[in-house]
Homo-oligomer: A and B are copies of this chain.
């Protein structure tokens, strides 16, 4: 017995918003589901699987396009998975880059804190933004 569910039920089962599901369909990430006579969408078990796949991909920070590729790879079970591996490595490098950027930012911001006793004209934060040279201590 293949179970069938409306978009609301799918939304609850997969933990993805209704609007988001319709958006994924619109951009071709999910296939158009069967429709009842009323026009209501009806989803089967494969559809949950696919949507959960997308959700996990997003949680891992993959872009929609990267997920599109991963879905294609998953649909060709006999092909070697080298490309999936490459994609993960590439994405890992992106994440590392973002962490490095944010860490640099963090250090700069941490160096600015704690001057709330001054007037704005002497504030280190304002000075740093306005371009006054900071003492290089």
| Interface residues in chain A, defined as those with a beta carbon under 8 Å from any beta carbon in chain B | 49, 52-53, 56-57, 60-61, 70, 73-74, 76-82, 84-86, 88-89, 91-92, 95-96, 98-99, 102-103, 105-106, 108-110, 112-123, 125-126, 128-131
A116 touches B56 (CB 8 A): no
With beta carbons under 8 angstroms apart, the residue of B79, B98, B99, B120 that contacts A74 is: B120
How far apart are the CA atoms of A120 and B126 in the complex, in Å?
54
Question: Among B52, B76, B109, B131, which residue has its beta carbon within 8 angstroms of that of A88?
Answer: B109
Q: Told that A74-B130, A81-B126, A85-B116 touch, could you supply 8 new A-B pairs with CB distance under 8 A? A: A78-B120, A79-B119, A80-B116, A80-B117, A81-B123, A84-B115, A85-B114, A102-B102
Complex contact B113–A92 (CB within 8 A): yes
CB-CB nearest 4 A-B residue pairs: A77-B121, A81-B123, A85-B116, A82-B116
Q: Is A53 a contact partner of B102 (Cβ separation < 8 A)?
A: no
Distance in Å from the Cβ of A32 to the closest Cβ of chain B? 21
Number of copies: 2
Complex CA distance for A126 and B92, rounded to whole angstroms: 16
B-side contacts of A79, CB under 8 Å: 119-120
Chain B residues within 8 Å of A77, by CB: 119-121
